[in-house]
Structure 1
Amino acid sequence: MASQQIEKKKNELTTSAKLRKDTEMLLAPHANWDKYLTPAPMSVAVLGELVFISSKDDFSINKNPPKDGFKHMKYPNSFKASLMQVCNSGWSAFNEAHNSMDQIRLYTENVPMHVRTAVEIILNDDDSLMHIMLPNTLIELENIASACLALSQSTTENFQSVVRLVHELLEASTNAQQAYNQDLKKVNQTIQEYKIRQEAKDEANKRAEKDLKDFKEKWDAAEKLFDETMKKMPSGWDMIGMNLAEGLAESLNVLVSGLTSVVTTSFASYMAQKVGGAVSTQTVGGAVSTQTSSGSVPGSAQVHQFFDVKDVYSEAYIIANLVEQLKYYFKNGKIDWSALYDQKEMKAKSDVQKGLLVEFRNKIAKLPESAPKTEVLGLFDAGISICNKLGEIAPKGECEPGQEQKIANDIADLLVQAQTFNSKGRQLTKTNPMSQTPPELVKAGQGKKRASEHAVENARIQIAEARKALDTARDMYSKTLDRLEKNKQEMTDILTILASSDVQQIDFKTTLEFLGLGLKALASVKEQWEKMVQFFQVVTNIIKVAMNSATNTFVKRVEEAAKYHQKEKKSYSSVKFVKDGVYSQAFQVSNLASLINMMSTTYVSVSDQHIMGRISSLGRLMNLDVSSPEFAQERKKLQDGCKAAQLAIEQLVKKNKLDFQLQTEERLKGLTELAGLLPPASQEEEKKIQEIVNAPSEELDQYA
């Protein structure tokens, strides 16, 4: 009865709607557009001042051009024309961004409807419907994802073009005006920081693309491994097959979460912070801005290290599941010899786990070297060693005194180590500890012993991990907003300086400093659009690979099932594994679409209320004569509007912080209610769980 209450409460906490909200909360510190749009009013104000400054005497910046010529500047012989080119490009980028994001918002609103249709087809007992009706639904989803990907890519390229143009203009200006080189040292540092950030982003994009290409291979490998294992497995070994399916399903979920976490990991910020490791201040006409000090520039090693570590955690996630299976050969601390040894096949059932441990160990051994790889290979070796011992004693039906207890202790110790390793992997990849069990696996597991036997232990660990994940997200959210609060005065000072500037008092050095600030602000907005592109790349890949490919595979599996009568022999077959796989990935698509819809809705709302009005004002400003009274009025209107917009966005950020805190508190309350249904944990059990969840990890600290 207690286990039924636990399962019921857990099911309440893992509904699709609540898990989607979990995804939003876990990624909120990294994906909230309101925070990243805070620099937008300042960047628009800077563009407005560039229009103002362009009325000064013109000069050429084509004195020391690059060997291969300018790639983005159209008018290197005119500084004035180059400034206007920046303004026009910036206006165009913000204008298209609003329209693109509004379309993305409308597109993603339709995703849940198509996903629901797909799930209804998957859950239908008529297998023929899956390959007859599902493809059309998947085509609709793929079309939506492709359209959104194209919109986000186009908008990203627009912002990228503006940033590249500003960067090239800054470099050309500093090269042309040698007399200012010493005074412009900090501007050059801004240029250098941009280069480092861009290097990190480019490297991360390359590795992300490789990961997406590898996704199909990993999906196919998991499906093939399950199918081959089930064909070799005698009748009556359903529990081992179900546990394998559960482990493979979770591994694929971690893989998708890892792909998503790539989008939210700030490699660029991490690498920029590593430039000398210190921060100096820069004064721009009385306004203070932060700059990283010069120093040794890290290469792409940090980016590759993250991906290599992520790959290890994704591939090795099944280790705890396989080790847990070894506990089934024990009953009340004693070996259940009838469960361990198959008299008909005359072999130890633990040979199945051994074969799978060897399989996964060999896959991980091929990955690049890293500390997690070394750690997990040791765990696999320990598991294989235990299986060897069980294989030796299984035919005898007995073992030496003390050996039985030692094997049981070794399994228990190894399981804790494996659970600890997986907990670190979930934290690194930002995988939700609370997850849904796929429907076919639920059906096959009804009435099975495993649900009650391990529900309590697994539930305790999941609760602790979920609490840790929410606490971490809340802490990171607060820290990002604390940094935003610290930068508030900087932005306010800059806008004040811009508002009080007189064109006659603005020299070349100050102009370039304004450009440097514009580069930083525009780059921040551009990076968020890059994240949007990567989100849609993940979504389109899931649809094409995990859903479309799996549907094609499903047809073959149904035919094989009919031929070999697998449905009669096994309660959980390869057919059901594929159905569960498609279901799980449909759920992932729905999750990501919900997150993207939340982001796009926020962007459109903020842009509509606080950015587009400023952009329209900038457009009018560019078409007015600087000497006319109307220009001064429009300039003042733009400056005041940018100040008001910045303040309004900051207020929105604070409101969203409060909403975020309330949401996490509500989620923590639900976890507490679930914990209250569990039998009280002993001090030893509680200590073990805390050690599993809070194990120190250099990788987690680096990429938090």
Structure 2
Amino acid sequence: MSSSQDLSTVRSTIASVTTGKAVNQDAWMTTWCSTNWGELLQPAPLSISLLGSVLIIASSTDDFSLDSKAPAGCPPFVWKYALRPDSFKSCLQQMVGDGYRAFETAHAKMEVINNCSGQMPAVIADIVNLVLKGSVQDIEDLFENMINDVQGLSAKCRDAAHDCEQEFLNMCGLAQEMVLACTYTAGTAQQALTQNNTNLEVLRVQKESQEKMVQEAKANNDLMKKSYLSAEQQFNKAVNDVPSGWDLVGMQVVESLTNLVVSAGNAAISAATMKSQAASAGINAFSSATGGNKKAQAPAPTPVAPSTAPNGVSSQPNSAALSDPGTLMVSQVLAQANAIKLLVAGNNGKPDWDRIRAASGGGTGGAAYVQATLNSQKGQLAAGKPISSQLSTYIDKGLAILAEVIRVAGSVASANANALADQVAPTDKLITDLQGLVTTANLVLQQPGTTATGPATPPTPATASTGAAKLAVDNAKMKVDQTRSQLEASRESFEKAADRLATQQQDITKTIGEMTRLTLTTNNLQQMLPVLTKAVGAFTTLRAQFSQLLQFFESIASLLIDVMGPSVDRWVSTMKAAEQQRLRTGSEPQLAGITVSAFTRDLIYRQMMMPLKVSYLSTSISTVYLAVSNDYILPAQRQVGTMLQFPASSSAADKAALTQKLTVAQANLAKSATSASNEILSRVQSYQKTFASSIDTRLNAIVSACQPVIPAVTAPVPSNLKAITDAHVKDTDATKALQAAANPMFDEDSAM
């Protein structure tokens, strides 16, 4: 079998396990790992139990005003959320009412999200069929209306998520306001001054984080729009710039531009992580300044563990990387590094001098093309951004290798077949390093290593040297290995999450138990403070998750409204021009067997995979939430509303009877809350086992299909990729631990 036949077999085998359906499954599973809704559901019973506890305590406590005069030298407390600050019990009743409304709203709106996101795949499937099979006229006539249908469903989901977030925002604000006001009321003048400073600091951190999130979201959306347009422009340019006959390089250029489109969409979707962090921004400031987190040294928006990756670049979704053009360009630079390898050793292990130099009839030589491309790519990087900084270093190394290649090619040394032997090892090292950075970028973007087969998937070149074909096979295997390593990382991260949930469950059980031991007597405002402080943490955690869900749909709205809508006329114009040229000349401009019109169709196809991924993810999230809400959240929430009680009279006997009744209610509440929380943990752990099993099934399918043609795929993931994903799992777990420590809900030091 020839080298090209070997390559064709490998590529067709990989295509069989990278269908649109399979890769979309990989994509949402990869993202689900970072949207672990077990961490949303777990504090729900605790938050309800906290509400019940404060009502029980309030039932045995004489009412008082929180709106007291400020001590001398202290500014007055400004109320934003409390409607009746002159009555502590009224504030508690408001908190229960707000809580009831928040959970009822969440349930109702999750039903909307479940329904609308469940409809989206069918609508998107119709669009994909139109794009893949319809005529240019069909696309011109039908596409825009079909996009509007997706936008309508997405807008309903966005509005529903916004309503959920807003209700929990009100809960967070009221709980936080009550903690600060109680501190103000019960404390000394010095404590009151500290409270005012705390209030200002929390508001400052929240405001700055939210403003930063808005700026970052705009930067991400701008980058997404620019990247989609850039992909079209770069393809058209590459049609003319890639030296003729260099089909394997053209193939990798097309694949890297396909990856650019996918990465741009995932960068916008991954910004949901930043939205969640912005929502949690005040927690660390709040717990640090109120003494809830004894370990915190200074308020910080959201703690993130330092990277342990060998390349020193964090793979945690972060604002700097998501707005970094380098994050989207790593695959393109890797394609050029592979081109260098073809120049240095592509002629059956020897330099390809004919390709290095310009053709005798004129035109661009391979070395000059790669050199110009790398210089252009370096000019697009952003100074100070994490992946751009690392990528710039790698590009410099590639340019240094090319400079030596060009120097030798112009000297008498080129008569020696081994003249570039000393450049093979640096080139291989460059490729290995870039593969690791690609893995880092994919983890930041929460996307698998492979992309689905589509209209712009290049055919296998008819001829290829043994060395060139081997490099192409290695590159194809690398993408499969990346997907394997990332799926394994998702599975391991979920296992870590299960351990973390079990630990947090112990803290929750301990907290609920402590609440049953609170003395039901008067003058216990100091006892109330830790309960309310933990409520701040619980409600903020819930709000942060709904903020993340909201951002998913805001990103999709931006894609559909800002990118796809304005692009329809341009796409149709491009395809019409290509069709006219084909009729006029008998052929369209193409690169590696891919025509301009095929690439345009592929561009639309890749864009539609973004809302499809979010719809799968949202359907899964809402399904899990609704099941737990029905069984554990709403029943408990309705029970809490009856817990504020009053004695039948002011007699000692009636007061004692009420205290006894409240003691029983307190114990029953603790029992039901603990049971519900344990059941939620059990259900989440069961789901995690199913999720891990589905990953194992997918991994086995990949290995089974590829093993006959790529035997090495049965070996462990290559160390350069494994080191990155292992660090990612470790860093993710460490980051989650830091964030939990910053939240007083999980802080044992704030025990009552």
User: After alignment, is 348-357 or 163-172 more displaced?
Assistant: 348-357
Aligned: 1:596 with 2:618? yes
Q: Aligned partners of 1:129, 1:389: CA distance in 2, in Å?
A: 52
Distance 1:397 1:615, change over 3 A: farther
- Measure the CA separation in 2 of the matches of 1:424 and 1:519: 34
Other-structure match for 2:473: 456
Pair 674,198 (structure 1): closer, same or farther in 2 beyond 3 Å: farther
Q: CA deviation at 1:649?
A: 0.6
Q: Which of 676, 679, 682 matches 1:645?
A: 676
Partner amino acid for 1:648?
E
Aligned to 2:298: 296
Aligned pairs (5 A) from 1:141-180? 141-179=150-188
Q: Would the aligned equivalents of 1:189 and 1:292 in 2 still touch at CA under 8 Å?
A: no
What code does the residue aligned with 2:185 have? A
Runs of 5+ consecutive residues of structure 2 not aligned to the other structure: 306-312, 649-653, 736-752
Does the CA contact (< 8 Å) of 1:621 and 1:635 recur in 2? no
2:333 counterpart residue number: 319
Pairing partner for 2:693 from 662, 675, 683: 662
Q: Secondary structure at the match of 1:403?
A: coil
Residue equivalent to 2:124: 115
Aligned residue among 429, 439, 442 for 1:426: 442
Match of 1:656, as an amino acid? Y
| Worse-matched range after superposition: 427-436 or 142-151 | 427-436
1:287 paired residue number: none
Query: Which amino acid in the other structure matches residue 554 of structure 1?
Result: W
CA RMSD of aligned residues (A): 4.1
In structure 2, relative to structure 1, the CA distance for the partners of 1:273 and 1:178 (3 Å cut) is closer
Residue 196 of structure 1 contacts residue 268 of structure 1 at CA under 8 Å; is this kept in 2?
no
Q: Distance in 2 between matches of 1:371 and 1:215?
A: 18
1:50 pairs with 2:64? no
The verdict on how the C-alpha distance between 1:84 and 1:182 changes in structure 2, with shifts beyond 3 A counting, is same
Give the structure 1 partner of residue 234 of structure 2: 225
Question: Contact 1:100 / 1:151 at 8 angstroms: preserved in 2?
Answer: yes
Partner of 2:651: none
Q: TM-score, normalised by structure 1?
A: 0.86
Q: CA deviation at 1:508?
A: 0.4
Question: Which residue number corresponds to residue 382 of structure 1?
Answer: 397
Who is 2:595 aligned against?
573
Query: d(CA) in 1 for partners of 2:588 and 2:503?
Result: 66
| Distance in 2 of aligned mates of 1:423 and 1:540 | 28
Superposed CA offset, 1:135-177 (max 9, x none) = 1211111111111111111210110111011111211221122
Q: SS at the partner of 1:547?
A: helix
- Asked if 1:512 is matched to 2:529, the reply is yes
> How far does the alpha carbon of each residue in 1:596-627 deviate from its partner, in whole angstroms, 9 at most, with x for none?
110111111111111111222234446x6565
- 8 A contact 2:336–2:370 mirrored in 1: yes
- Cα 1:297–1:616, aligned 2, differ >3 Å: closer, same or farther? closer
Structure 2 counterpart of 1:155, which letter?
C
Partners in 2 of 1:393 and 1:462 — Cα distance? 33
2:21 corresponds to: 17
Separation in 2, partners of 1:596, 1:47: 29
Q: Distance in 1 between matches of 2:180 and 2:113?
A: 35
Aligned to 1:110, what secondary structure does the other structure show? Answer: helix
Task: Read off the aligned partner of 1:350 and give its amino acid letter.
Answer: A
Asked if the contact 2:288/2:299 (under 8 Å) is kept, the reply is no
Quick one: structure 1 residues 395 and 535, their matched pair in 2 at CA, closer, same or farther if it must change by over 3 Å? Answer: same
* Correspondent of 2:255 among 246, 249, 256: 246
Q: Indicate which of 77, 86, 103 corresponds to 1:77.
A: 86
Residue identity opposite 1:542 in structure 2: L
The structure 1 residue matched to 2:492, chosen from 475, 481, 485, is 475
- Seen in structure 2, the aligned counterparts of structure 1 residues 596 and 181 have a Cα distance that, compared at 3 Å, is farther
The equivalent of 2:553 in structure 1 is 536
Deviation at 1:575, TM superposition (A): 2.6
Contact 1:241 1:572 (C-alpha < 8 Å) held by counterparts: no
Q: Give me the whole-angstrom Cα distance separating, in 2, the residues matched to 1:274 and 1:536.
A: 27
Please state whether the residue corresponding to 1:647 is helix, strand or coil: helix
CA distance 1:506–1:94, shift in 2 (3 Å) = farther
Query: Residue type matched to 2:375 in 1?
Result: V
Alignment partner, residue 437 of structure 1: 453
Change (3 A) 1:239 1:137: farther
Structure 1's 333 and 687: CA in aligned 2 closer, same or farther, altered over 3 A? Answer: farther
Q: Aligned equivalents of 2:408 and 2:19: distance in 1? A: 45
Which whole-Å CA distance do the structure 2 matches of 1:414 and 1:84 have between them? Answer: 64
Q: C-alpha distance in 2, partners of 1:228/1:187?
A: 60
User: In structure 1, what residue type is equivalent to 2:428?
Assistant: A
Q: Which amino acid aligns with 2:170?
A: S
Q: Distance in 2 between matches of 1:460 and 1:438?
A: 19
Do the aligned partners of 1:174 and 1:180 also contact (CA within 8 Å) in 2? Answer: no
| Distance in 2 between residues matched to 1:687 and 1:499, nearest whole Å | 52
Q: 2:42 aligns with which of 19, 38, 43?
A: 38
Partner of residue 388, structure 2: 373
515-524 or 43-52: bigger deviation: 43-52
Q: Which amino acid aligns with 2:126?
A: T
Contact preservation (8 Å) 1:201, 1:267: no
CA–CA distance in structure 2, aligned partners of residues 275 and 91 of structure 1: 27
Q: Deviations over 1:333-367 (max 9, x none)?
A: 23334444333334313333322212210011xx2
Cα distance change on mapping 1:27 and 1:308 into 2, 3 Å:
same
**Correspondence 1:336 to 2:358:** no
Asked if 2 retains the 8 angstrom alpha-carbon contact of 1:348 and 1:390, the reply is no
- 1:526: how far off? 0.8
